[in-house]
Amino acid sequence: MSTLVVEQLFNGIQLGILLFLLAAGLTLIFGIMDLMNLAHGSLYMLGAYVSSTVALASGSFMLGVVVALPAILLLGVLLESAVLRRLYRSGHLDQVLATFGMILFFNEFVRVVWGPAGIEVPLPPFLTGTVYPGGVALPVYRLVVMAVGLAVAGFLYVLVAKTRIGMLIRAGASNREMTAALGVDIGRVFTLVFGLGAALAGLAGAMAGPIFAVSIGMGENVLIQTFVVIVIGGIGSIRGAFVGALLIGVIDIMGRSFLKDIFGLFLPFDAAETAAPAVASMLIYILMATVLFFRPQGLFPARTG
Amino acid sequence: MKSGKALIFAASALALLAAPPAFAAKASKIKIGFITTFSGPPGVIGEDMRNSVNVALDALGHKMGGIPVEVIFEDDQAKPEVGKQKAEKLLGKDKVDFLSGIIFSNVLLAVRKTAVDSGKFLIISNAGASQIAGKQCDKNIFSTSWQNDQIPMAMGEELNSKGVKSLYVVAPNYAAGKDMITGLKKTFKGKIVGQDMTKWPTQMDFSAELAKARAAKPQGVFIFYPGSATVAFIRQYEQAGMQKIPLYSVFSVDALSLPKLQEAKINAVLGTYDTGFWAVNLDTPGTKKFVAAYKAKYHKYPSYYGAQSYDSMLLIASAVEAVGGDLSKMDAMRSAMEKANFESVRGKFTYNNNHVPIQNIYLNQVVADKDGVWTTSMVRTIYKDHQDPFHSQCPMKKTW
């Protein structure tokens, strides 16, 4: 039993880190640019498709990931300058509408280019196995995803807290007008932030591809969870996104694992069997509602001016 | 404004009611409305069904009883309300003579009333909802597929004969997922040591379920995951190092998921078993013709969804031919279809009182064919002339 708990804890953290890759980009974009981007999931999907295509053509999974990053970054920059830039002054509702339109566009686009069937890429053999430290089964690839996610978290921390670009990003987030008044080209900062967020989504897609099926609409599946992460963590806060993602990952996995046993303690077997899956899939929303009630600004709100 | 809208609705309702009454003698064109799913992940299924309908039309020379045939395809987006709208559009605007297709049970249940009220035939090419086989059966509804329970019931029998005593069950938490588990439990005599129902269709991470399954140390794992979830599940099964535990599946490992699994080199799926009414190597003239024609046209294996759609077209053709193209003879067409007098992919079969086939259910295994392409191959017959468990609830009497 205890190995199972450890294993599930690992699964939760691992799922959380994957969510963090998505949430970090989204929270940056929303927190700093005040832009509601529903198409974030589409960038995740395109990251998966681009990396899979390159990996299949070249035979190298690594190359696929390496190519997907700049490709989706470029796509992000293009989207921002061609479409989204026009939406900064409109309300969130217009942004939701426009970016929802993008979801439809990209889903159809993928169908036209890649067909409806999705693509799958083999992992290199050294990433496929399972290791058993102390009898706990850990898939190697999931460990790699964890390592990549932690590296990204570290990179973002250094970027935002220690560099000049990070300073501009923070300044832009705190007070956009003042930053612009001080002579910073806020438009360029925004383009950069959006590109960075897109690249993170692309990376998440490329990493998630070999675990989840690379298929049309894969982005919408995770987008909702990503929003929950951001609301819990505090909009615009990378630290919040990190903690929120881990919380969501662990709570989701633990609910799916043990809720039935817990319900079984005080409910008849059949009732527990029916209720547990339903409640397990609601747990993260219950957590979100609780956080919203006690701390509407989220656990780690970004400092605003 | 409100009354204006109501008027439009009333007018369109009237227009629907006033659809031309049975017109006399030979029709100049036969129209079939085929509802399936083209959008989202199940779009792959819809594409395979459309391909198979085209293969059937080629085989028929695009004519039924000497009359040209037109098939109008509609996308239900896997949503019941959209499916119903599409059925109304096909019947009202396109004035189709037959409705066919339908992948999902929930879509079928939504379309049923529209179809029955229209007085036209509905030939189901996939959905196996227990209601339609039971109390809600109808004289004008035929199935060229199965009733959901038939397939997992056969798997239960197979597990018994393999001596599997403990089984872990994972399926999505929606109507068909529940049907599959219920069907399995009807026949499986061993112990189900654990059961997980995952959120459908959004959950693609199965790490928690797989860890639990491993900890339960079962002799086998049973799954039902249609569409792209199959690939995700089996990939994670292998990544979690679970391939030592035999995997048994229904409606999951098919001609749509196997190419993807092969692309991803997921060897864990090779040698696994599933049950079904059909496999590409089934030794019947109908299957041989269908598979050869499909492979020649599309250069890949058809799925069972395709085989069922092919049968739907042939069934309709058999009815049209029996009345010499006079589509007003509904009763004669119905008795023709009840005889199942066409070259079905499943070979000769008969219809039950509820218009669901009485058919064999086979054990299939995933193998690489002589060209190295992964496919399912028939191993043995589990059920001979199997009747679905709901036919006795259908008030119709068998008169053929």
Prediction ipTM score: 0.93
| Cα B212 from Cα A260, distance rounded (Å) | 12
The verdict on B289 and B270 lying in the same domain is no
- Residue B204's domain comprises 150-276
CA distances from B235 to A118, A206, B213, B248, B269 (A): 14, 15, 15, 15, 9
Does the pLDDT value for residue B15 go beyond 80? no
Return the domain boundaries, chain A.
13-120+136-294
CA distance B79 to chain A (A): 15
In 3D space, the residue among B136, B144, B130, B376 whose CA is nearest the CA of residue B274 turns out to be B376
The verdict on B259 and B304 lying in the same domain is no
| Other CB atoms within 10 A of residue B162 CB | 15
In a domain, B175, yes or no: yes
The verdict on B130 and B70 lying in the same domain is yes
CA distance A115 to chain B (A): 9
The verdict on B231 and B154 lying in the same domain is yes
Q: Spell out which residues of chain A touch residue B264, defining contact as CB-CB under 8 Å.
A: 120-123, 210
Q: Spell out which residues of chain A touch residue B197, defining contact as CB-CB under 8 Å.
A: 277
In a domain, B38, yes or no: yes
CB B152 within 8 A of CB B181: yes
Tell whether A59 is within 8 A of chain B (Cβ): no
Q: How many domains does chain B have?
A: 2
CB B39 within 8 A of CB A215: no
The verdict on B160 and B137 lying in the same domain is no
Beta bridge partners of B69: B30
What integer pLDDT is reported at residue A177 of this predicted model?
85
Nearest to A213 among B47, B231, B241 (CB): B231
| Cα A19 from Cα A12, distance rounded (Å) | 10
The verdict on B159 and B264 lying in the same domain is yes
Tell whether A112 is within 8 A of chain B (Cβ): no
In a domain, B366, yes or no: no
Q: Spell out which residues of chain A touch residue B41, defining contact as CB-CB under 8 Å.
A: 116, 118, 213, 215-217
The verdict on B270 and B166 lying in the same domain is yes
What integer pLDDT is reported at residue B22 of this predicted model?
45
Nearest to B236 among A211, A256, A281 (CB): A211
Does the pLDDT value for residue B21 go beyond 50? no
Q: Chain B neighbours among A 162-181 (CB < 8 Å)? A: none
| Cα B258 from Cα A241, distance rounded (Å) | 37
In a domain, B246, yes or no: yes
* Positions in chain A short of pLDDT 70: 1, 303-305
The verdict on B178 and B259 lying in the same domain is yes
Residue at which a domain ends, from B243, B276, B309: B276
A111-170 pLDDT tens trace = 999 988 889 999 999 999 999 998 889 999 999 999 999 999 999 999 988 999 999 888
In a domain, B105, yes or no: yes
CA distance B260 to chain A (A): 6
Q: Which residues of A231-259 are buried (b: 16+ CB within 10 A; e: fewer)?
A: bbbbbbbbbbbbbbbbbbbbbbbbbbbbb
Q: Using N-to-C axis directions, what is the helix angle for B105-118 and B80-92, rounded to 10°?
A: 30
What integer pLDDT is reported at residue A270 of this predicted model?
86
B120-151 pLDDT tens trace = 999 999 999 999 999 999 999 999 999 999 99
> Domain containing B243 — which CATH number?
3.40.50.2300
Q: Spell out which residues of chain A touch residue B212, defining contact as CB-CB under 8 Å.
A: 4, 257
Write the single-letter amino acid at A193.
Answer: V
The verdict on B267 and B292 lying in the same domain is no
Q: Where are the alpha helices (DSSP H) in chain B?
A: 2-17, 43-59, 80-92, 105-118, 130-133, 150-162, 175-187, 207-215, 228-239, 257-263, 285-298, 304-322, 330-338
In the sheet that holds B67-75, the strands lie side by side as B63-64, B67-75, B30-36, B98-101, B121-124, B141-143
CATH 1.10.3470 fits A13-120+136-294, yes or no: yes
Instruction: Please give the radius of gyration of chain A, using alpha carbons only, rounded to the nearest integer.
Output: 20
Q: What percentage of chain B carries pLDDT values higher than 70?
A: 94
The verdict on B224 and B289 lying in the same domain is no
Residue at which a domain ends, from B258, B276, B294: B276
Q: Spell out which residues of chain B touch residue A212, defining contact as CB-CB under 8 Å.
A: 204-205, 232
Q: Spell out which residues of chain A touch residue B201, defining contact as CB-CB under 8 Å.
A: 221
Q: CB B264 to CB A216 under 8 A? A: no
Q: Chain B neighbours among A 213-252 (CB < 8 Å)? A: 213, 215-218, 220-221, 224, 252
Across the range B329-341, mean pLDDT stands at: 96
What integer pLDDT is reported at residue A305 of this predicted model?
37
Across the range B384-396, mean pLDDT stands at: 96
In a domain, B233, yes or no: yes
Residue at which a domain ends, from B222, B255, B276: B276
Best mutation target among A141, A144, A212 (most B Cβ atoms within 10 Å) is A212
Q: CB B205 to CB A278 under 8 A? A: no
Tell whether A281 is within 8 A of chain B (Cβ): yes
